[in-house]
Amino acid sequence: MQIYRLPALSDNYIFLLHDADRQIAAVVDPAKAEPVLKRLQELQAELVAIFNTHHHGDHVGGNVRLLNAFPQAIVYGGTDDRGRIPRQQVFLQEGNRVTFGDRVAEVLFVPGHTRAHIAYYFPPSKPGDLGELFCGDTLFAGGCGRLFEGTPAQMVNSLSKIRELPDRTRVWCAHEYTLKNLQFALTVDQQNPDLQARYELVKGMRDRSEATVPSLLGDEKRTNPFLRWEQPNLQARVKSQDPVQTFARLRGMKDQF
């Protein structure tokens, strides 16, 4: 399974999954149809699936046009997004599985950013390989999504599920927010040497206009404050020893950053 990262809008990423043996493709969160159609033509591949993580327009905006071009493609999304994702046909819950080619993804229910948000996790195909996580706007490189429809407790539970995945998992998040996320992280976790090193690396990448997605989940566990709500230094920073309250206060600070 080859994964192509397609930039769209101002800072979105669309992910195209390609099975070269079968000449089929699937797309995750098509903000727009045009870059997807262009790459499909270059690959001479048939689109068979649209995997949506949630209903926001910058994640489903290309659904209808893609289906006009490939009417046989199946649209997947969360059960609770019924009526909100254009042309949705399959309604997924925690623990469901979806298949693309010879790869099977596990569905995680990860509400918080929205009430119906899901993520797709493809375990490694063989020992030593990387897993692939398509998490929409739940976890970002260096950050996490705003809470539009969910609660801090829901988001902590959702991020806990992601945190349990292996370190050698690539995090394919849907926006290029990494540099600003790490700038905020340094304001609350200044003494973290892994974070300091990651910030310098990412700053150089962005200076060269390089994408910072995907990231490795192991790096997120060491440097992303929104996966580290149990760390004493972060709890001291927000004056709480309660994990959910620590997360909520960090998220509130980020909202004002």
* Cβ atoms of 120 and 105 closer than 8 Å: yes
Q: Which residues pair with 91 in a beta bridge?
A: 77
- Exposure of 221 by Cβ count < 10 A (0-12 exposed, 13-18 middle, 19+ buried)? middle
Amino acid sitting at position 108: L
Residue whose entry in the numeric block shows the structure tokens 């899901």: 118
Catalytic residues: 54, 56, 58-59, 113, 137, 175
Separation between Cα atoms, residue 214 and residue 44, nearest integer Å: 25
Strands across the sheet with 24-28, in order? 2-8, 12-19, 24-28, 46-51, 74-78, 90-92
What b-and-e string marks burial along 185-208, b requiring 16 or more CB atoms within 10 Å of the CB?
A: bbebbeebeebbebbeebeeeeee
Q: Is the dihedral of CA 218, 7, 136, 73 positive or negative?
A: negative
